[in-house]
Structure 1
Amino acid sequence: MSRTYWAAGAAVVLAVLFAVGATVATASGGSGGGAAGRTPGLHSPDAGFARDMAVHHQQAVEMSFVVRDRTQDEAVRSLAYDIANTQANQRGMLLGWLDLWGLPKVVSDEPPMSWMGTGTDAGTSGHGAHSGHGATPTGAATGEAGAAGSGAIMPGMATKEELTRLGAAGGRDAEVLYLQLMTDHHKGGVAMAEGCARQCQTPAERALAQGMVEAQQAELTLMADMLKQRGSAPRG
């Protein structure tokens, strides 16, 4: 258990260092632009990933703060702290890039995950037949980074009912539910980050996405071990 937790912690530290380096590079103009120094377009994978992952991360931060107050188990509280701290920092970087690119954090007619199908920078003009969407998903920071609606929550995101259950649970029940929800959340996050690592044109953002993949995969291993210790297992 301790060896696995150390490995996961090391992966998180590397992800944070990746992110800090990426932000410095962006701020200095060294690698903040897209391919050939171009600013990413409104509906490019770079911008879409930044908007969607900011929403995705915000829910992870919120769930981590909830479980911190619902259990006294130090292992779960430490994991929750690491996830909240890391993903809050990364979220700030993603939103900061959108500011640097002069792009909005909310695009009202952009369905969640639509950037996954664009493949390359779609530029600032048309973006296909996007239908409108409704409410911001549970866990999104209203007015900062909107995405899914009409029930179309991004991969791995918890539902409103699941978040209510987490907030009402305590002790071992809260620990198990949090670990299961965060396992699903990380699996969805890894898929999104892998998409950016393949498709995003901004070198710094691709590096951050790859760091997310590695850190969250390590945490998935850790959480599977923690669930086993509690007589449970990931869902599905």
Structure 2
Amino acid sequence: MSVDWEPPVRVGTSVYEELRARILTGELSSGARLTVPAIAKQLNVSRSPVRDAVLQLVREGLAIEEFNRGATVFIPSRASLVSLYHAREALEGMAARLAAARTTPEAVSELSLILDEHEAIDPGDFARHIDLDARFHRRVRDLAGSPVLSRMLEEIQGQVIVAMRSTNLSGGVGRATAEHRAILEALVQQDPDAAERVARAHIVRLRRILEGPEQEAGDPPLPQASAG
């Protein structure tokens, strides 16, 4: 990334988006150091927008800042993800409820295409599974029409994506797409109660995988949170 002259705010946004994308794609993996001078040199920008971008990633929970060590990409723990999924259950449920009242034929078509593509992938293709899973949930929450809800869920989903990429925690492609089909059907029927119920159930199942010994095939256990 080489940034020609741009207003400071635009440069900062570009740097933030670049770093966030690298984290979500796994190019910057969990535990990777976010060294401001090195990143500034690599992106051909000053240190100030890099510092601001790293602080924004810390606020989002995608990075952790430690005294005298600087920032690193966050390393997911079982405890932190269980906490995220408790919040995600309520928020995804509300997003589906709101989306059910705003469903359009165009939105149904888009979601159907995402699901068709998702169902056709190799079950072992975790990268595609993660991308398509995120696209489905993002489209539902966009349909909900709540910027506040979308922003909260985008931050949560960012951390979830990092966890999925670093552990291959998938929740099972077949199970996930079947549950997405149930959410879509509730949206087609414009049934807010059903949409919220099936969306919550989808997230609850994933949370229970994290909480207990049950693991889907190919899903290694997450590291336990350290004491304190």
- The verdict on a shared fold, with TM-score over 0.5 as the criterion, is no
Structure with higher RCO (Cα < 8 A, 6+ apart): 1
Decide which structure has greater strand share: 2
TM normalised by structure 1 equals: 0.29
| TM-score normalized with structure 2 length | 0.30
